[in-house]
């Protein structure tokens, strides 16, 4: 969207001199999005958490229906707790990998390269 915005600002600058004031953010002023407290992170975390719950439920059910006959007697934990423990471990591992992926996907240097590339494409000002 920022690239499209820059394109039209450059095209309409001669007809509407103050067209830049209509937009809060431009390519040069986009706030960083890789923070843990950002809205993007919270939405991604919510989706990842729901995915963790689904994966944990699936792992618990799989363990209850299939694996408990295979390894249930060898584990020194009560049969009732084993699926819950397996589900919790799967959920924690799943959530850990989501957070690691989020951090790598929103790498600040990668984001800066994308912004600079977009600025060159539309001829915008450097950051």
Task: For residues 37 and 39, give the distance between their C-alpha atoms in angstroms, rounded to a whole number.
Answer: 7
CB 61 within 8 A of CB 83: yes
Say if CB 63 and CB 89 are below 8 A apart: no
What percent of the chain shows pLDDT beyond 90?
15
Confidence at 20, pLDDT banded by 50, 70, 90: confident
Tens of pLDDT, residue by residue over 26-44, are 766 666 666 667 777 788 8
Residues in contact with 7: Cβ distance below 8 Å, sequence separation at least 6, in sequence order: 122
117 and 44 in contact (C-beta within 8 Å)? no
Domain segments of the chain as ranges: 1-34+108-127, 35-106
Q: What pLDDT does 53 receive?
A: 93
Which pLDDT score, from 0 to 100, does residue 81 have? Answer: 80
Q: Residue range 49-78: average pLDDT?
A: 81
Structure tokens at 98: 């989501």
Nearest partner of 29 among 115, 108, 120, judged by Cα: 115
**How do residues 73-116 score in pLDDT, each as one tens digit?**
666 777 678 788 889 999 999 999 988 888 787 777 777 777 77
Percent of the chain with pLDDT over 70: 80
């Amino acid at each position: 969207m920022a690239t499209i915005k820059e394109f039209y600002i450059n095209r309409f600058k001669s007809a509407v001199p103050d067209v830049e004031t209509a937009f809060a953010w431009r390519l040069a002023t986009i706030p960083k999005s890789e923070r843990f407290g950002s809205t993007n992170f919270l939405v991604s975390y919510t989706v990842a958490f729901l995915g963790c719950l689904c994966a944990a439920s699936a792992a618990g059910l799989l363990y209850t229906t299939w694996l408990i006959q295979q390894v249930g007697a060898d584990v020194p934990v009560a049969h009732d707790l084993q699926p819950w423990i397996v589900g919790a471990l799967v959920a924690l591992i799943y959530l850990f990998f989501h957070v690691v992926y989020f951090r790598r996907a929103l790498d600040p240097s990668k984001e800066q390269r994308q912004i600079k590339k977009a600025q060159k494409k539309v001829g915008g000002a450097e950051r």
